[in-house]
Structure 1
Amino acid sequence: MSMAETATDAPREDTEFVRFWNEVLAPKFTRFRHVLVDGLTYHSEAVFPKLPVKAGDRVLDVGCGWGDTAMKLARIVGPEGKVVGIDCCDAFLADAKADLADADLTNVTFMRGDAEVALPEGEFDFVFSRFGTMFFANPVAGLRNMRRALRPGGRMVHIVWRDPADNPWLSMAKDIVLQYLPAPGEDARTCGPGPFSMADEATVRKMMEIAGYTDIAFERVDAPVRVGDDVEDAIAFQLAIGPAGEVFREAGDLAEQKRPEIEAALAEAIDDQVRDADGIVIDSSSWVISARNPGD
């Protein structure tokens, strides 16, 4: 399957998860792009120097978001290499293309697509995803499509969050908000399984085995995450995105009634966190999961 055949020649109706990302989450994520991109700098610095990528490689970046990782990979593979960034969010791709137009790169292409439905097949030396695969509603299908995008012997790396207890930057705010609001109901609209859906090593290893990978390895990376420029920014971020944001959003009018109490509680907790030159940082922990496509 060529790239042209995946998303442009035979468009498919978006899934509920893709619609939710485009309609609800994308504007919220864009508002906090300064946190979600710049805040992950420590993780990128720990991971990127170790990636199995070299000059001349063809690379696929799944869930590329605003394209920052795709462009970073493009500088590694150089002008003889090529990077394709794929995402399901129109707003993210529009910003990625705008940033690319201002960059000195000619080896990057962005395309709209859903990794759980279809990806280009057999075209890439390396497939990468930073904090994207944990939102797959059907993770085995998405992981299998990522493997099929690789040439035989090609490698993949995806980065996911570990346990909530090791990620207070996300779990702390949710625990506080749940003191004031009910948990989301079974019919709540969500972004998918959520940020901790791939926290368990044994479960994810089995998923990847079923998807056809070999040489599966897990490396733990602990690094701080910047959650906002200041306390006010961090509170707004937590109530818009992630587990706490989901609880707050689904509570509707009750959440707004309780907002002053919730914000006061969050302010107290966030004010106790460490600060660096750029803002407030809280501990986080991720799995860097690597594997190989043995070939069909």
Structure 2
Amino acid sequence: MADTAALRARSADFWARTAPGWIHQADRHDEIGRPLGAVAIEWLQPRPGERVLDIGCGCGGTTAELARAVTPSGSAIGLDLSEAMVASARRRFTEPDGAGPRFVAGDVETLDVVPGAPFDAAYSRMTLMLLADPVAGLTTIRRSLRVGARLAATVFRDGPANPWLPAALLGAAAHLGPLPPLPVGDEAGPFAFADPARVRRLLDAAGFTDVVVHPHDVTLETPDDPETVAEWLIEIGPAGAAYRAAGPAAQGSARAGAARLLARFHTPGTGYRLPAGLWSITARTPGTGAS
């Protein structure tokens, strides 16, 4: 297993290469991917006047939703490692008068506190499992929150609970160039938080209290368009950079390969129903203060 510095460098390189796919698919992912974080927003219950932090905001859709919930006197700040995605978020959601959510590019693992702290609440959709050093990242989040503040997040459980993720990758990979190294063991990746006991240990180590980890199942519903759905999943996944570097013929073969392995989730005339097994994670900062 690589050391933390190497994992951080690998992560930064991966997201630099992957960001164009997320930017291209931003509107589609905002629509189809909303169920992946809905349970966390429901628990968080952001209220007007609150200051909310969105960790791993990507292209800004989740931050914009949080900002709408806390208007008119509250604010939402989205943080993401990818400068390109943060720039996209600003283009998509900054209003002509400069109002709207704010976005910050930075590594939550190496910041002391997130700019704009302290916050009343923190939210994260499918990001905590991608941290090279989860305790460092969670500790930054905790330091950025007020006393007694709330954290709500979602992560994937394991591969069997999310069978469409490996299907899209395996279907496309045979038609593309070399892919980035896949995570090993607890290394950052989609299933790094599969063990709920480990999730609790990490939040405890970062100084959170009242940690609760619950299973939560959702279904992602997509249009009845196999090529579009295949391209969406390829572009936001590990094969995204190789897909964009490939020629039209190879891209078409990759889409067809992914669509073949995703066919079991497809109902002609209706679309795809992709089952997603999540952990819903909630916690608070200590009521006596944190440093």
Question: TM-score normalized by structure 2?
Answer: 0.79
Partners of 2:259 and 2:54 in 1: CA distance: 36
For residue 75 of structure 2, the aligned residue among 79, 82, 95 is: 82
- The aligned counterpart of 1:292 is 284
Give the paired residue count: 273
Partners of 1:166 and 1:236 in 2: CA distance: 22
The equivalences for 1:85-124 within 5 A come to: 85-102=78-95, 106=99, 108-118=101-111, 119-120=113-114, 123-124=118-119
Partners of 1:102 and 1:110 in 2: CA distance: 13
Partners of 2:149 and 2:72 in 1: CA distance: 20
SS of 2:107 mapped into structure 1? coil
SS of 2:88 mapped into structure 1? helix
AA matched with 2:143? R
Deviates more, 1:41-50 or 1:81-90: 41-50
Deviates more, 1:50-59 or 1:159-168: 50-59
CA RMSD, Structure 1 to Structure 2 (Å): 3.4
AA matched with 2:102? T
Cα–Cα, structure 1 residues 65 and 186, in superposed 2: closer, same or farther, change >3 Å?
Answer: closer
Matched, 1:20 2:14: yes
Cα–Cα, structure 1 residues 183 and 289, in superposed 2: closer, same or farther, change >3 Å?
Answer: farther
For residue 202 of structure 1, the aligned residue among 197, 205, 228 is: 197
- The aligned counterpart of 2:34 is 41
Cα–Cα, structure 1 residues 156 and 181, in superposed 2: closer, same or farther, change >3 Å?
Answer: same
Q: Which runs of 5+ in 1 are unaligned?
A: 1-13
- The aligned counterpart of 2:4 is none
For residue 123 of structure 2, the aligned residue among 116, 128, 140 is: 128
Cα–Cα, structure 1 residues 96 and 58, in superposed 2: closer, same or farther, change >3 Å?
Answer: same
Post-superposition Cα deviations, 1:64-111, rounded to whole Å, max 9, x if no partner, equal 112111111112112221211111222222221122234898352211
- The aligned counterpart of 1:11 is none
Partners of 2:32 and 2:203 in 1: CA distance: 28
Partners of 1:267 and 1:37 in 2: CA distance: 21
Deviates more, 1:179-188 or 1:123-132: 179-188
Q: Which runs of 5+ in 2 are unaligned?
A: 1-7
Q: CA offset at residue 292 of structure 1? A: 0.9
Q: CA offset at residue 31 of structure 1? A: 2.1
Partners of 1:16 and 1:85 in 2: CA distance: 22
Matched, 1:282 2:274: yes
Question: TM-score normalized by structure 1?
Answer: 0.78
Cα–Cα, structure 1 residues 279 and 93, in superposed 2: closer, same or farther, change >3 Å?
Answer: farther
Matched, 1:54 2:41: no
AA matched with 2:34? T
| Residues 59 and 89, structure 2, Cα contact 8 Å, conserved in 1 | yes
AA matched with 1:68? G
Q: CA offset at residue 46 of structure 1? A: 4.1
Cα–Cα, structure 1 residues 120 and 204, in superposed 2: closer, same or farther, change >3 Å?
Answer: same
AA matched with 2:83? D
Partners of 1:187 and 1:219 in 2: CA distance: 27
The equivalences for 1:126-205 within 5 A come to: 126-176=121-171, 193-205=188-200
| Residues 35 and 226, structure 1, Cα contact 8 Å, conserved in 2 | no
Cα–Cα, structure 1 residues 34 and 209, in superposed 2: closer, same or farther, change >3 Å?
Answer: same
| Residues 165 and 171, structure 1, Cα contact 8 Å, conserved in 2 | no
Partners of 1:107 and 1:185 in 2: CA distance: 36
SS of 1:221 mapped into structure 2? strand
